[in-house]
Chain A
Amino acid sequence: MKKFISALLCVSSFSFASMIGVDALGEEQIAGGSAAMAGRGFAGSAKTGDAEGVSVVNPARQAFDSKVSFNLNFLLDVSTADRSNSHFTNTNVSLPSMNLTFPMNDFGTLGFALWQHYSAALREDIENEEENWNAEIEYQSSVYELVPTYAIRLPFFRAISLGFSAHFVMGSFNRDLTLGPDVSAVAEDDSWATNDADVTDHVTGDWKIKNSAYFTFAAQYRGRMASYFFSFSTPYTLKNELEYNFRFSETDTLAPTKHTRNIKIPAMLATGVNYRINKRHNVMADVAWRAWSRDIENAAGSWNMSGVTKTQNDFNISVGYQRDGSDIFYDSYWDRITYRAGAWYKNWYVNDVSEIGGSIGAGFPLGRKGTMLDLAIQGGVRLTDDDRNWSESFIGIRLGLVGVSNWGKTRGQ
């Protein structure tokens, strides 16, 4: 199991591709980043069903599950940043989430998710003698959450469920700026001393949460046609304990300067609706909202890098459509496929950054036991209006593997 988890963490050390906010928290993977959600524009946290898995926004949903399900998601993301005829591209592969739900009939449903909530990844080498560029830039930051969830349907009002989840935060931050010398300010006779003298501005540290965890409370109503949810996530403070150092080699004995940045993440309110039309057709819409009151301290600590990332109230509005695949094995394969489409508008936590995206997706049944391969293709733009961040266009492919099983149940049940 340990090996499995470390292999997963290794894969996921490659993270999302956006270059916005790399010095703050990086890109946020909304709604758990599952391929199924992404296929319908990140809408549909109110949609119930065994193949839906854990929703980190709406833990109450899983109370309606009747089968054990496992879900593992991959993302391949390509972002291109543009400004006045200049552009560059960053590609990454990551593992945004995995989750397991375990229904226990009248005793409710237990769930467990591993979620890469925020991530920044960048690795570039630049050498340009004319403009005196001689650098290697590397960012690796991942804020993970281990999320155990519990949800139960109310005893008499069976259409209503309550859910609860705790979010245990962990992760690491690493930034290396490896730089060559610029000897323009040094007398010609003295420049020899800098031959082969690359210096790395090294910052490393852990992500923690100030108190042991933060929590999400949710309520869900499942009607014949319409389902709703409402959730509240508590505010919390992320602690990033950093060590700053200059490195010439791995064997240096310099003592680092230590600094802890505390990032106050505001409470989140989320709500959503799913409306079922004609049995298998669903339209859905979700909204999530957070009011940021404080700027985020950047890792920066040097050069001319900005000390803070200014924040704004962030929200995410998404709309989606899903045609559920037939669960009758003898129907045609095309009919058994789940089709999805959606769009979203997102205000980032980074000031003056917004994102418009759209996606299409499909769920392909594999065999008769309920295993499914979800595929989503997403694309869009991130618009910015400041000097530092560039606008970006992005495309991404997500793959999700869903396994549904009848563990713990006899054939008759």
Chain B
Amino acid sequence: MSIRAEHINYLYGEGTAFEQYALKDVSFEIGDGQFVGLIGHTGSGKSTLIQHLNGLLRASSGKIYYNGEDIYQEGYDMKALRSRVGLVFQYPEHQLFEVDVFSDVCFGPGNQGLSKEEKEERAREALHLVGLEERFWTQSPFELSGGQKRRAAIAGVLAMRPEVLILDEPTAGLDPRGRDEILDEISALHKEKRMTIVLVSHSMEDIARYADRILVMSHGEKLFDAPPKEVFRHYQELERIGLAAPQITYVVQRLREQGILLQEDITTVGEAKAAILRLLGKGGSEA
């Protein structure tokens, strides 16, 4: 499974005086089983971009290939594409609507024309994957807590058994523990189910912890496409476009300026702790 975008342009108000590029010459390839973080300031084109990946928006020009197939070619099965590339929107719990959680999660696979048994089987599987206990399944989705609602909504997408899962700020508005729980579950889907993940987030700390590659968007253009350590090294450029690096990156940077020998590419608390303890001659390797 791979998604390849070639020279994607997307224009709002094409042919009018208000014509504006939302995406400008964006190209990249997301390989099978990658965990990609997508970051950018508000209005940088992130949400527009992800809606191209499952065909919800059609590029003004450029091509998108899913598994080598041009999704804009005549007769391409867009509906199948949308099942294979699952998109979880911002605040997905606003889309919950059924009388109980289980029926809500069954809705997606129901649309795929599956039998009752098959769709219920998938719903059960999806609810287990997001860690929503069975006692919640018969409840109205509106009675759940914020974190549980979010899980139910993500389960609704997982029940379609997508190969690629795209999440637009899945942790916005959740408390720190709820945030970690959801991200750990997404990470488990990636590791255990080998699902390809695209995570849109404004939290540089979360991206540093989970993604193995970052795409940085700015004003509709792709600015960086590299592993987190590489990208966060450019923290000054990130700041210029409304982003930042994880707090830890700044600590390491300041210590380096004072002549402390730490690697430049430390981005998480765990890495910083290990490196500092090594310098102090504590912990494992006293090289």
Q: Do A and B bind each other?
A: no
Residues of B within 8 A of A (CB): none
